[in-house]
């Protein structure tokens, strides 16, 4: 029988409910525009050094928790790539401080906590010290089922004073197909194991029935179990650090500090906008193809999709920030739907890399970043019955637009060093699973080396080569040897830069790369993957920079690789040029080569080859202005082929005694020829306008393009009116 007269019990009884506190917090923010109505940062004003010391200790505890806990995991995705993060939240669920890692989830966990509060979890099932909660439902804050959240409440003298959350990306989530980003699911019931803000532990222990259920719900229970222990350990490290802080600073100080830190994060964000951007309207649009008409397994999914993400960023005269995707295309019978929480998480992760990457990085920036993701579209799908297994496929390209918009502002202010034209698509995640030669050992193919694509060009330099992931600022491809330890039937023959993947420009995008995989020692194996193929990912670069190259797929079955190895003959390491393939030159077999990035599950056998390709980033500025010496370096490093240097940059590279060199005279002539070609071919705006308009009026567009326009016009009256007005089309015009 609990002691209802103890000081802590009395205090808890006198404390308003979490639901009341959340409502009050939101009310005060709505009234004052300040977090919980805090206008003045009193603690910071009274003793700045103490305030910053507490912040540093808190941040240190979170980073340390991640660095320590990841060693508990056995999954290379967590242990080597670091797809893990921790965050501390106020009792109302607003993030105060975050670790490093996959910090897109800092805000998504906030949504999960608030969901539990709003649903009255405090009464039923009750929130007590020692509870452990789990969530991975995209419509309750998460991005996709594969990202699993562990959340614990932190109590002090009987009062809930904070929450700590940790997210780790799973090797497998028990979806309809093995892997972490399915392409074949058409509804919720194929997304895999769903955990909907569930109490999975109490008294600081996981429930036995939960452990049994979870281990039987995924294909890789060993990785699941260790990932969960890793998340729990990290949460407790942070909770203990918070307790030590309360012991040294006092509960009243720490509680007030958490609130002020969120408000400071909000204020800092607005100050950054005024410091680095220019008021006005920024506009762009992003796209990606998912041709499914001839691939999808479900009748309702057999349609070619073109995702539309119009993006309008408005910076007000007072520095107000507002981003809208009004006009986005509709939801899909495919796993590419995104919940509002996942879009908010993505917005947060990008602004914390571009505008507010230092200082108090927390939900204050989220509060200050106004946004609109229209309900009923792919970017705020709302319907929990839809599939949300791979929202990244649409979300990643859509947010390239935000970087293009911000870069225009940075340029105008003179802060060219902050410009980033976008990023490569962290796609082509080779996925699937198989059984080894013993006929019983399952191995997952759940590769995460895609966490290292090309960054877009900067305003002062080329983009980083093979070194960026929009959702995890600590990009890392991981060691090939480590991937082989879990993907035991799929060996690496190579990893190297993929020529011509970097977007052209005065400053080029970061280069993409390729890995040639060899199937060996399996009794069965299925593989699948996705990327863009019919479109360029996202959009173009800025100021004349081109998009990075689109993806394609190539694999070879029934090869003679075993004979080549036995005869000690050369084997391929990829293909520098898809049109002149080293693979096809050296290996005999049945080649599949398609101009598409989307690949549904296919069966593979021993000796087969599969080429994984990772995206480059978009470019900046006119490619004809690129320094020819930089192009020579690109050719030497196989970032570009010599023929690409000539046709895209007008630089003639010749083989000299010391390697590639510029033919200066030929380059001058070639660049002049390309400029003259522009002059000879380019048409006036009026001619262009009439041609495009006539095409629309004739309806001379393929079905996915028509579908995209039709959906955007019907889902947003404003976007539709703008479209018709721009082309001077009748009010009745439809597709």
Q: Which of residues 612-651 bind other proteins (CB under 8 A)?
A: 620-625, 644, 647-648
Are the C-beta atoms of 328 and 570 separated by less than 8 Å? Answer: no
Residues 150-153: contacts with CB within 8 Å, 24+ apart? 150/228, 150/231, 150/232, 150/235, 151/109, 151/112, 151/113, 151/235, 152/232, 152/235, 152/236, 152/239, 153/127, 153/128, 153/129
Segments of 26-178 assigned E as strands: 84-89, 95-98, 132-135, 147-156, 159-169
Interface positions, 562-601, toward other proteins (CB under 8 A):
577-579, 593, 595
Closer of 130 and 668 to other proteins (Cβ): 668
* 219 secondary structure, DSSP code: S
Q: What sign does the dihedral 327-329-331-336 (CA atoms) show?
A: negative
d(CA 176, CA 387): 11
Interface positions, 513-542, toward other proteins (CB under 8 A):
533-536, 538-542
Piece in contact with other proteins (CB under 8 A), picked from 126-134, 244-252, 513-521, 702-710: 702-710
- The DSSP line for 476-537 is ----HHHHHHHSTTEEEEEEEE-TT-SPPSSBPPPP-EEEEEEE-SEEEEEEEE----SS-S
Piece in contact with other proteins (CB under 8 A), picked from 1-9, 233-241, 364-372, 690-698: 690-698
Taking CB under 8 A as the criterion, the residue among 222, 293, 437, 683 binding other proteins is: 683
Interface positions, 449-478, toward other proteins (CB under 8 A):
460-461
Are the C-beta atoms of 526 and 432 separated by less than 8 Å? Answer: yes
With H, G, I as helix, E, B as strand and everything else as coil, classify residue 309: strand
Interface positions, 250-279, toward other proteins (CB under 8 A):
274-276, 278-279
Closer of 333 and 549 to other proteins (Cβ): 549
Provide the minimum distance between the beta carbon of 175 and other proteins in the complex, in angstroms, as a whole number: 28
* 637 secondary structure, DSSP code: T
Bridge pairing between strands 304-315 and 321-324: antiparallel
Taking CB under 8 A as the criterion, the residue among 89, 507, 513, 518 binding other proteins is: 507
Taking CB under 8 A as the criterion, the residue among 49, 681, 730, 731 binding other proteins is: 681
Segments of 292-403 assigned E as strands: 304-315, 321-324, 369-372
Taking CB under 8 A as the criterion, the residue among 203, 695, 714, 734 binding other proteins is: 695
Piece in contact with other proteins (CB under 8 A), picked from 118-126, 174-182, 254-262, 504-512: 504-512
Closer of 661 and 705 to other proteins (Cβ): 705
Give yes or no for residue 294 binding other proteins (CB under 8 A). Answer: no
Taking CB under 8 A as the criterion, the residue among 222, 565, 629, 702 binding other proteins is: 702
Which token pair is 442?
A: 């399952």
Interface positions, 168-187, toward other proteins (CB under 8 A):
none
Piece in contact with other proteins (CB under 8 A), picked from 88-96, 218-226, 284-292, 475-483: 284-292
Give yes or no for residue 718 binding other proteins (CB under 8 A). Answer: no
Provide the minimum distance between the beta carbon of 278 and other proteins in the complex, in angstroms, as a whole number: 5
Provide the minimum distance between the beta carbon of 647 and other proteins in the complex, in angstroms, as a whole number: 6
Closer of 166 and 505 to other proteins (Cβ): 505
Taking CB under 8 A as the criterion, the residue among 280, 375, 656, 659 binding other proteins is: 280
d(CA 116, CA 447): 33
Closest listed residue to residue 448, CA positions, set 466, 428, 462, 425: 428
Piece in contact with other proteins (CB under 8 A), picked from 91-99, 440-448, 480-488, 683-691: 683-691
Are the C-beta atoms of 371 and 347 separated by less than 8 Å? Answer: yes
Interface positions, 399-438, toward other proteins (CB under 8 A):
405, 408, 411-418
Window 195-224: contact mask with other proteins (x via CB under 8 A): ------------------------------
Phi, psi of 271 (to 5 degrees): -65, -40
Provide the minimum distance between the beta carbon of 526 and other proteins in the complex, in angstroms, as a whole number: 24
d(CA 636, CA 655): 10
Which token pair is 429?
A: 């995640």
Give yes or no for residue 688 binding other proteins (CB under 8 A). Answer: yes
Task: Classify residue 125 by burial, with Cβ atoms within 10 Å: 0-12, 13-18, 19+.
Answer: middle
Taking CB under 8 A as the criterion, the residue among 55, 269, 321, 504 binding other proteins is: 504
Piece in contact with other proteins (CB under 8 A), picked from 17-25, 82-90, 96-104, 680-688: 680-688
For the beta carbon of residue 337, count every other beta carbon within 10 angstroms. Answer: 30
d(CA 380, CA 378): 6
Are the C-beta atoms of 508 and 457 separated by less than 8 Å? Answer: yes
Interface positions, 297-336, toward other proteins (CB under 8 A):
306, 316-319
Taking CB under 8 A as the criterion, the residue among 37, 125, 589, 722 binding other proteins is: 722
Provide the minimum distance between the beta carbon of 71 and other proteins in the complex, in angstroms, as a whole number: 29
Closer of 129 and 643 to other proteins (Cβ): 643
Provide the minimum distance between the beta carbon of 471 and other proteins in the complex, in angstroms, as a whole number: 21
Q: What is the size of the binding site for other proteins (CB under 8 A)?
A: 90
Angle at CA 95, nearest 5°, toward 90 and 100? 135
Piece in contact with other proteins (CB under 8 A), picked from 124-132, 235-243, 433-441, 696-704: 696-704
Closer of 207 and 647 to other proteins (Cβ): 647
Are the C-beta atoms of 304 and 292 separated by less than 8 Å? Answer: yes
Piece in contact with other proteins (CB under 8 A), picked from 203-211, 386-394, 660-668, 675-683: 675-683
Q: Looking up tokens 């590769």, which residue turns up?
A: 447
Provide the minimum distance between the beta carbon of 409 and other proteins in the complex, in angstroms, as a whole number: 8
Closer of 47 and 625 to other proteins (Cβ): 625
List of residues 6+ apart from 388 with CB closer than 8 A: 138, 139, 143, 144, 145, 188, 191, 335, 337, 338, 339, 342, 381
Angle at CA 209, nearest 5°, toward 208 and 215? 90
Closer of 6 and 577 to other proteins (Cβ): 577
Closer of 283 and 569 to other proteins (Cβ): 283
d(CA 151, CA 93): 11
Phi-psi region of 622 (alpha: psi -120 to 50; beta: other; left: phi over 0): beta
Closer of 290 and 346 to other proteins (Cβ): 290
Closer of 165 and 541 to other proteins (Cβ): 541
Provide the minimum distance between the beta carbon of 719 and other proteins in the complex, in angstroms, as a whole number: 10
Provide the minimum distance between the beta carbon of 408 and other proteins in the complex, in angstroms, as a whole number: 5
Closer of 281 and 294 to other proteins (Cβ): 281
Are the C-beta atoms of 548 and 512 separated by less than 8 Å? Answer: yes
Taking CB under 8 A as the criterion, the residue among 46, 209, 281, 658 binding other proteins is: 281
In angstroms and rounded to an integer, the radius of gyration of the C-alpha atoms of the chain is 27
Piece in contact with other proteins (CB under 8 A), picked from 40-48, 60-68, 514-522, 546-554: 546-554
Window 120-159: contact mask with other proteins (x via CB under 8 A): ----------------------------------------
Alpha carbon dihedral 408, 409, 415, 416, in 10-degree steps, equals 0
Taking CB under 8 A as the criterion, the residue among 227, 259, 260, 289 binding other proteins is: 289
Phi, psi of 591 (to 5 degrees): -90, 130
Provide the minimum distance between the beta carbon of 579 and other proteins in the complex, in angstroms, as a whole number: 5
């Amino acid at each position: 029988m609990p002691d209802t007269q103890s000081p802590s019990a009395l205090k808890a009884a006198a404390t308003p409910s979490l639901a009341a506190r959340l409502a009050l917090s939101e009310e005060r923010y709505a009234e004052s525009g300040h977090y919980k109505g805090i206008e003045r940062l009193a603690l910071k004003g009274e003793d700045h050094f103490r305030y910053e010391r507490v912040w540093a200790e808190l941040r240190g505890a979170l980073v340390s928790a991640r660095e320590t806990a990841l060693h508990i995991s056995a999954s290379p995705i967590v242990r080597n790539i670091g797809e893990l993060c921790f965050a501390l939240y106020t009792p109302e669920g607003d993030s105060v401080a975050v670790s490093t890692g996959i910090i897109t989830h800092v805000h998504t966990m906030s949504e999960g906590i608030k969901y539990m509060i709003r649903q009255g979890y405090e009464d039923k099932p009750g929130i007590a010290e020692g509870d452990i909660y789990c969530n991975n439902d995209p419509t309750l804050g998460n991005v996709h089922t594969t990202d699993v959240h562990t959340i614990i409440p932190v109590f002090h003298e009987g009062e809930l004073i904070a929450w700590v959350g940790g997210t780790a990306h799973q090797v497998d989530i028990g979806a309809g197909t093995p892997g972490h980003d399915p392409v074949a699911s058409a509804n919720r019931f194929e997304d895999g194991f769903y955990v909907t803000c569930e109490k999975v532990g109490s008294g600081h222990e996981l429930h036995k029935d939960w452990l049994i259920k979870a281990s039987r719900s995924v294909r890789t229970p060993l990785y699941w179990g260790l990932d969960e222990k890793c998340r729990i350990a990290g949460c407790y490290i942070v909770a203990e650090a918070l307790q030590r802080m309360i012991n040294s600073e006092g509960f009243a100080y720490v509680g007030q500090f958490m609130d002020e830190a969120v408000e400071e994060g909000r204020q800092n964000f607005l100050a950054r906008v005024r410091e680095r951007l220019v008021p006005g309207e920024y506009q762009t649009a992003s796209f990606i193809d998912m041709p499914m008409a001839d691939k999808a397994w479900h009748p309702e999914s057999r349609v070619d999709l073109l995702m539309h993400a119009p993006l309008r960023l408005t910076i007000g005269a007072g520095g107000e920030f507002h981003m809208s995707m009004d006009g986005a295309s509709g939801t899909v019978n495919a796993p590419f739907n995104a919940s509002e929480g996942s879009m908010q998480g993505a917005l947060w992760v990008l602004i914390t890399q571009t505008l507010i990457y230092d200082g108090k990085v927390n939900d204050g920036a989220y509060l200050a970043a106004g946004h609109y993701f229209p309900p009923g579209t792919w970017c705020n799908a709302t319907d929990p019955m839809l599939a949300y297994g791979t929202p990244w496929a649409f979300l990643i390209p859509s947010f390239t637009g935000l970087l293009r918009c911000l870069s225009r502002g940075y340029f105008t202010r003179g802060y060219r060093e902050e410009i980033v034209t976008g990023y490569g698509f962290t796609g082509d995640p080779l996925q699937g699973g198989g059984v080894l030669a013993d006929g019983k050992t399952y191995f997952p193919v759940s590769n995460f080396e895609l966490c290292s694509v090309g960054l877009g060009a900067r305003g002062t330099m080329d983009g980083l080569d093979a070194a960026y992931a929009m959702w995890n600022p600590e990009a890392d491809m991981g060691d090939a040897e480590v991937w082989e330890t879990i993907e035991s039937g799929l060996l690496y023959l190579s990893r190297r830069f993929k020529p011509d993947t970097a977007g052209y420009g005065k400053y080029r995008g970061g280069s993409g790369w390729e890995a040639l995989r060899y199937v060996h020692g399996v009794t069965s194996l299925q593989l699948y993957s996705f990327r863009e193929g019919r479109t360029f990912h996202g959009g173009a670069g800025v100021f004349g920079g081109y998009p990075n190259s689109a993806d394609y797929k190539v694999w070879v079955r029934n090869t003679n690789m075993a004979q080549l190895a036995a005869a000690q003959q050369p084997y391929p390491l990829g293909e520098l040029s898809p049109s002149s393939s080293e693979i096809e030159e050296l290996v005999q077999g049945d080649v599949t080569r398609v101009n598409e990035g989307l690949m549904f599950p296919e069966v593979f056998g021993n000796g087969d080859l599969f080429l994984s390709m990772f995206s480059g980033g978009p470019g900046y500025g006119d490619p004809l202005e690129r320094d020819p010496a930089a192009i020579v370096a690109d050719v030497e490093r196989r970032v570009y082929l010599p023929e690409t240097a000539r046709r895209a940059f007008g630089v003639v590279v010749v083989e000299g005694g010391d390697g590639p060199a510029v033919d200066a005279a030929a380059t001058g002539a070639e660049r002049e020829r390309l400029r003259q070609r522009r002059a000879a071919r380019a048409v006036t705006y009026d001619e262009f306008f009439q041609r495009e308009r006539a095409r629309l009026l004739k309806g001379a567009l393929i079905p996915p393009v028509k579908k995209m326009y039709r959906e955007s016009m019907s889902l947003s009256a404003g976007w539709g009116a703008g479209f018709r007005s721009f082309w001077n089309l009748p009010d009745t015009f439809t597709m």
